[in-house]
């Protein structure tokens, strides 16, 4: 496993406390996006298609700390955009660590080596580097040559300075399982602390709409990859049941509140992947979002989603409810043969709503009036 023991114990205790308190919905990981600006424009990314005035917005350290305290999740993933473009990021990371949280700093690593001296190794802090496969796969995915090489150099430099470093790998249609398996063997040699792997979410604003995986193809791909990984000791920092879900063996419903997102617009409804509206406070997000309108089977935009943002929290809750099942899967690894779990029917899902343009117009009007984007909910 790529999850450190102290994190497993603390998060496990937190989850048990939530269950004992009878809380039906609770956050596990806060997705904190202090900016949307990025120094790459990846083909499968739907996060950065905003006017410059919005891309120039930043969350201040105080806003980040308020979000961390309001939410209460034990883990904070700092994402974006490219977080290392935010000048106050070292201060933000330190402040979150000081609040007793586990911090994952998601980065494309282009600036990582240059900025390493502004961070300090800590047992609860990890860089989480975006790496979508070997050199050719990754450079194609980020639409720029040389990025893989710089990312690997930055990972090695960070490891040499004593940092924990994980990678975040997104797979798309056409990924070759043998090649992905070779890639996982290669990164293991670098001594990575963990790999987080998922199929890409079909962002409606992503420039390339042709290469997102549907659910069936994603499950077959993951079975092929996991089959090649038997006995190799790949370190995933995801729960065993989530990996089993990727391999088609669990019929999970999405729990989008497990990874709530705070960005420059406020608290995003319903999840990290979909911006269908925003709340001013975390409490308002939890209490006023109509959660039943989302998830596979409920909403067209969720039909093919199998991303950890929605399903890792489901897997963790399942592990708490069925510890023996979780232990069995952890010991034998994801099942790669036999029938897959029944798929959720899509007949009754509601059609996709096109909200992006309205949302951007409202945001631009707020900025023109000198207001903060997060001051108004919708």
* # residues near ligand SF4 by CB under 6 A: 14
Q: How far is CA 19 from CA 194, 255, 310, 334, 366, in A?
A: 27, 15, 19, 26, 40
The tokens for 229 are 């990984």
Q: How far is CA 236 from CA 13, 162, 239, 250, in A?
A: 21, 20, 8, 18
Strands 275-279 and 102-107: unpaired
| Part of the chain binding ligand SF4 (CB under 6 A), chosen from 3-11, 118-126, 151-159, 267-275 | 267-275
Nearer CB in complex with ligand SF4: 119/294: 294
Cα separation, 293 vs 164, in Å, equals: 38
- Window 244 to 263, contacts with ligand SF4 (CB under 6 A): 254, 256
| Part of the chain binding ligand SF4 (CB under 6 A), chosen from 3-11, 108-116, 161-169, 289-297 | 289-297
CB of 28 to ligand SF4, least distance (A): 13
CB of 311 to ligand SF4, least distance (A): 7
Which residue is closest to ligand SF4 by CB?
A: 310
Task: Say whether residue 274 binds ligand SF4 (CB under 6 A).
Answer: yes
Q: Please enumerate, as own/partner, the contacts of 2-10 that have beta carbons within 8 Å and a separation of 24 or more.
A: 2/166, 2/192, 2/193, 2/194, 2/195, 2/235, 2/236, 2/237, 2/238, 3/194, 3/237, 4/123, 4/164, 4/193, 6/123, 6/124, 7/75, 7/102, 7/124, 10/74, 10/102
Task: Say whether residue 202 binds ligand SF4 (CB under 6 A).
Answer: no
Nearer CB in complex with ligand SF4: 108/296: 296
Task: Say whether residue 315 binds ligand SF4 (CB under 6 A).
Answer: no
Q: In this chain, which of 270, 275, 277, 334 binds ligand SF4, going by CB under 6 A?
A: 270
Nearer CB in complex with ligand SF4: 256/277: 256
Give the interface with ligand SF4 as residue ranges (CB under 6 A). Answer: 254, 256, 270-271, 273-274, 294-296, 302, 305, 307, 309-310
């Amino acid at each position: 496993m790529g999850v450190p023991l102290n994190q497993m114990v603390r998060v496990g205790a937190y989850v048990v406390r939530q269950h004992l308190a009878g809380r039906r919905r609770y956050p596990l990981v806060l997705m904190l996006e202090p900016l949307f600006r990025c120094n790459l424009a990846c083909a499968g990314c739907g996060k950065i298609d905003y006017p410059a005035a919005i891309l120039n917005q930043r969350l201040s350290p105080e806003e980040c700390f308020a979000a961390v305290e309001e939410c209460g999740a034990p883990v904070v993933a700092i994402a974006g955009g490219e977080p290392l473009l935010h000048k106050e990021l070292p201060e933000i990371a330190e402040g979150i660590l000081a609040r007793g949280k586990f911090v994952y700093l998601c980065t494309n690593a282009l600036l990582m080596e240059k900025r390493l001296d502004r961070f300090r190794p800590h047992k609860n802090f990890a860089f989480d580097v975006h790496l979508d496969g070997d050199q050719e796969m990754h450079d194609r995915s980020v639409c720029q040559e040389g990025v893989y090489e710089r990312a690997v150099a930055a990972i090695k430099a960070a490891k040499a300075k004593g940092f924990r470093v994980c990678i975040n790998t997104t797979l798309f249609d056409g990924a070759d399982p043998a090649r992905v398996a070779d890639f996982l063997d290669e990164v293991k040699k670098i001594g990575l602390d963990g790999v987080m792997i998922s199929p890409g979410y079909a962002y409606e604003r992503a420039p390339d709409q042709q290469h997102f995986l549907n659910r069936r193809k994603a499950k077959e791909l993951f079975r092929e990859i996991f089959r090649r990984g038997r006995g190799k000791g790949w370190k995933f920092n995801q729960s065993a049941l989530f990996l089993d879900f990727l391999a088609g063996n669990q019929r999970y419903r999405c729990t989008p509140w497990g990874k709530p997102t705070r960005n420059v617009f406020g608290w995003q409804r319903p999840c990290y992947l979909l911006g269908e509206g925003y709340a001013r406070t975390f409490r308002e997000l939890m209490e006023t979002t109509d959660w039943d309108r989302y998830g596979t089977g409920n909403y067209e935009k969720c039909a093919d989603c199998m991303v950890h943002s929605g399903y890792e929290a489901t897997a963790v809750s399942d592990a708490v409810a069925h510890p023996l099942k979780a232990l069995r899967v952890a010991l034998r690894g994801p099942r790669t043969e036999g029938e897959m779990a029944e798929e959720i029917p899509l007949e009754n899902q509601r059609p996709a709503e096109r909200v992006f343009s309205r949302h951007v117009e409202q945001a631009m009007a707020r900025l023109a009036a000198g207001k903060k984007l997060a001051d108004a909910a919708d």
